[in-house]
Chains A and B, each alone.
Chain A
Amino acid sequence: MSAISLKNVDISYGDVRVVQGASFEVAEGESFALVGESGSGKSTVLKAIAGLAPDWTGEISVLDSPRSHRPDRSFASRCQMVFQDPYGSLHPRKTVDTTLAEPLAINGIGKRDAKVIEMLAAVGLDRRFRFRFPHQLSGGQRQRVAIARALMLEPRVMLLDEPTSALDVSVQAEILNLLKRLRREQGLTYLMVTHNLPVVSFMCDRMAVMNKGRIVEIAPSSALHDGSFTDAYARELYAASGGNPDRKDMP
């Protein structure tokens, strides 16, 4: 069964076509990355799947059910998104507790108290953070809250938009470990947008390289070990990221 499937998807913002002819399949339980420069359309693909960029044509299906162009409550409980900036994606006047309980309230799910406590433990936040406001948390703690919020409805697919690029390397390591552990424990499927190739090597099984709105190559993450990309742009991106410094024999 495929968790996410895109067939010949074009996405536009007004008159500008940002993504053209995007097609890829992500198997259930897989971790798939979209890599490319800013403006390559990688975040737009995530937004279209999440329903935040409604102006698209082609076929998008998530967990074998076709995605409509409208917000969809049953979709929300199966697929959730984590955004890049933990400073901007949490409501500044809501406590962690309110933020986490909100998706449950919207979907009429009970036992909110117990679920919030359980989820805080799952993302490695101490209970004393439960009634704090976002400004009382560090960047890494906020991103943990954002991940916890996305997991409240027990989704099976997670869309991750540069989840660690606003964080320090030591905090990035903590968040990446957390995401990896959650995926293992809950059998999640990840679709992750990033421009950091070593993060792909750590987190993902396969990746699609995007350039100017098109997917130019889909490669396994083992291609990052030796730079065995076939597309010229993908090789350029790999070289710009420093190649693999652990292999001195490679150019």
Chain B
Amino acid sequence: MSAPLLDIANLRVSFPTPNGRVDVVKGLSLTLGRERLGIVGESGSGKSMTGRAILRLIRPPGRQAADRMIFDGIDLQAQGERAMRRLRGARISMIMQDPKFSLNPVMTVGAQIAEALRVHERLPRRDLRARVTEMLEAVRIHDPERVARMYPHEVSGGMGQRVMIAMMLIPRPDLLIADEPTSALDVSVQAQVLDLIDELVRNNGMGLILISHDLGLVARYCDRILVMNAGEVVESCAASELQNASHPYTRGLIAAVPRMEETRDELPVLDRSEWSGT
């Protein structure tokens, strides 16, 4: 394999509290090629903050620092705000959790998708419209011209999330960060949206970081998995090896999920004392 797409060493994110600064990400390191990486953890484990830190989107008073943060040969920490803005969206983009809060309610869907493209590329208006239609078709929206004229409140949750995906992929980024892309959606739509992300990522040879609390889902759609707890990576393994995970936290998480064919009378509960000392 050539040089990795993303190389992070010892990433730390901290926020001030009345009792001093608290590290929410404590020294995370990862390298990512053009592959699919899953980050799993419970609320408060620092998984979303990791995603944001890659885009340098930690707002003050939060602070981030790393020994090394290199994306495709570019040192992300050395970039100014203007340079970062050129990277965000165009090279690295991020799908947020809830389409309801992430789309602009007073712009049509088509205009928003076109805006994402216009910021990074200069294109004649006709080409712009063609690219938007093509992208909406790629995310399997059947009547793209009609949907492009609709406002976010007129589309369903699943369709809204597809619009978000279209918006994030239209500048053809190299790395896609999907932060709980389907947790606001129904199970039946969830599978469709993830299959879609999966297909687009594979066809375009992109890197994907899928952030989720759902172990089963991450195991299904990723090649490699990082398990986070309290700001630290406690386990890193191939997705196919998840069932043989060794850390008690990972094993506890896996065991706590009910199965389709449930024979246990009681679900095992995480005993947090087992590793909290480490």
A residues in contact (CB < 8 Å) with B: 37-38, 139, 168-170, 172-174, 176-177, 180, 195-199, 201-202, 224-225, 236-237, 240-247
Q: Is B240 part of the contact surface with A, judged by Cβ < 8 Å? A: no
Q: Is the CB of B187 within 8 A of A169?
A: no
For A240, give the chain B residue with the smallest CB separation. B188
Chain B residue contacts of A244, Cβ below 8 A: 259-261
Residue of B nearest to A241 (CB): B187
Chain A residue, CB-CB nearest to B188: A240
Are B256 and A198 in contact (CB-based, < 8 A)? no
The answer to whether A246 and B266 have CB atoms under 8 Å apart is no
Task: Report the minimum CB–CB distance from B97 to chain A (whole Å).
Answer: 13
Instruction: Report B-chain residues with C-beta under 8 Å of the C-beta of A170.
Output: 42, 252-253, 256, 269-270
Q: Which of B214, B220, B259 has the most CB of A within 10 A?
A: B259
Chain B 249-261 interface mask (CB, 8 Å, partner A; 1/0)? 0001100111111
Contact A173 B267 (CB under 8 A): yes
Instruction: Classify the secondary structure of A's interface with B.
Output: helix
Interface size band for B: 20 to 34
Write the chain B residue with the least CB distance to A242: B216
Give the CA-CA distance A14 to B160 in the complex, in Å: 26
Type the 1/0 row for B178-197, where 1 means its CB is closer than 8 Å to any CB of A.
00000000111111000000
Report whether A198 and B43 are in contact in the complex, using a CB–CB cutoff of 8 Å.
Answer: no
Q: Nearest chain B CB to A20's CB is how many angstroms away?
A: 20
B215 within 8 A of A: yes
Q: Which residues of chain B have C-beta atoms less than 8 A from A37's C-beta?
A: 186-189
Assuming the contacts A177-B266, A201-B261, A237-B187, asked whether A168 and B216 have C-beta atoms less than 8 A apart, the reply is: no
> 1/0 contact trace for B181-224 toward A, CB 8 Å?
00000111111000000000000000000000111100010000
Complex CA gap A174/B258 in Å reads 12
Docked Cα-Cα span, A180 to B267, in Å, equals 10
15 cross-chain CB contacts under 8 A:
A37-B187, A37-B189, A139-B43, A168-B43, A170-B253, A173-B256, A173-B258, A180-B265, A197-B187, A201-B261, A201-B262, A202-B267, A225-B261, A242-B216, A247-B261
Q: A174-B269, A241-B187 are in contact. Are A224 and B42 (CB under 8 A)?
A: no
Residues of A within 8 A of B187 (CB): 37, 195-197, 237, 240-241
Pairwise interchain contact A169-B260, C-beta atoms closer than 8 A: no
